Chains A and B, each alone.
Chain A
């Protein structure tokens, strides 16, 4: 196999430690939201998810020693998803109060609300 695989070997001893860090981050991400502070929830749940996923990709998937452009390919895909979100969210998240509805007098059925 290739040279980069030899490089992978250099990380051998770290896997269990990485695993330990991931578990610690996981515990924080579960405990964070129990405080009930929204900002803390966002950071611990989603910020740490990004950190954990990056660690899994970097160390377990060996992206840290893979050719740089593999990162770029994967990140480009994420950017496309962000573009999708940015283009769609203004419509899907603001379906109330648009002009066409007022002008026509059409009232859509209200979605059922639970609790």
Chain B
């Protein structure tokens, strides 16, 4: 049916939590087990293979650390965008979301630099299972970053015209989760060696 048609169901809130936010929590719950399963497998292997310490020393801690700061900063922008949306200031929320997208873009550029350097030095996906995990985990996280950027672009375009402002909070919650995943990936793949 037409996009404008909103069922009564969507507007109900028996829990007191708005439906969109509730759904985001369930999305994140299902994401926790996806990343959790991958990282649990990685940790087991890591503890089982002492030589992975040597492999891990070839990841670029500075690039990873810089990216941590980038993501934390973009999270701040996202939460400030939510704050602006709460005040009903759509254009400001949109600008802050664009800043968040900028952070995501920087993150991906640094990631591209890291990956290309590592691959050109022979640390490819196939060198060792450590690197398979490294590329799979950071790649899966990177896919989430890209998805976040796309959604934020759409939501910011709406917010600029003061439409669907409640979505600013929802994408922010997702974005903080992406940030939180990186907070764990960083020590797991970059610091611990």
Whether A39 is near chain B, meaning CB under 8 Å from some CB there, is no
Interchain CB contact under 8 A, A85 and B76: no
Q: Which residue, A2, A81, A113, has most C-beta atoms of chain B within 10 A?
A: A81
- Is B147 close to A, CB under 8 A? no
What residues of A have a CB within 8 angstroms of the CB of B73 in the complex?
A: 19
In this complex, how many residues of chain A approach chain B with their Cβ under 8 Å: the count is: 50
B180 touches A56 (CB 8 A): yes
Question: Could you tell me if A74 and B173 are in contact, using CB atoms closer than 8 angstroms?
Answer: no
- Residues of B contacting A105 in the complex (Cβ-Cβ under 8 angstroms): none
Query: What residues of A have a CB within 8 angstroms of the CB of B78 in the complex?
Result: 60
Give the secondary structure class of B's interface. Answer: helix
Q: Which chain B residues border A85 with CB–CB below 8 Å?
A: 40, 43-44
Q: A16-B76, A93-B44 are in contact. Are A57 and B176 (CB under 8 A)?
A: yes
**A72-115, CB under 8 A of B: which get 1 and which 0?**
01100110110011001100110100000000000000011111
Contact A26 B44 (CB under 8 A): no
Whether the pair A2, B17 counts as a contact (CB closer than 8 A) is yes
Over the window 124-138 of chain B, the binary record of Cβ atoms lying under 8 Å from chain A Cβ atoms (1 yes, 0 no) is 000110000000000
* A2 partner, pick from B18, B30, B44, B61, beta carbons under 8 A: B18
Query: What are the residues of chain B within 8 A of A2 when measuring CB–CB?
Result: 13, 16-18
Among candidates A8, A53, A57, A115, residue contacting B51 with C-beta atoms closer than 8 Å: A115
8 Å CB contacts to B: which residues of A56-75?
56-57, 59-62, 66-67, 70, 73-74
The CA-CA distance from A113 to B53 in the complex, in Å, is 12
Q: Point out residues on A near B: beta carbons under 8 Å.
A: 1-5, 8-9, 12, 15-16, 19, 22-23, 26, 29-30, 33, 41, 45-46, 49, 52-53, 56-57, 59-62, 66-67, 70, 73-74, 77-78, 80-81, 84-85, 88-89, 92-93, 95, 111-115
Write the residues of chain B forming the contact surface with A, with a CB cutoff of 8 angstroms: 13, 15-18, 25-26, 28-30, 32-33, 36-37, 40-41, 43-45, 47-49, 51, 54-55, 61, 65, 68-69, 72-73, 75-76, 78-80, 82-83, 86, 127-128, 166, 169, 172-173, 176-177, 179-180, 183-184, 186-187, 191-193
List 7 additional contacts besides A29-B186, A45-B187; criterion CB under 8 Å.
A56-B176, A56-B180, A60-B179, A77-B29, A77-B33, A77-B36, A81-B32
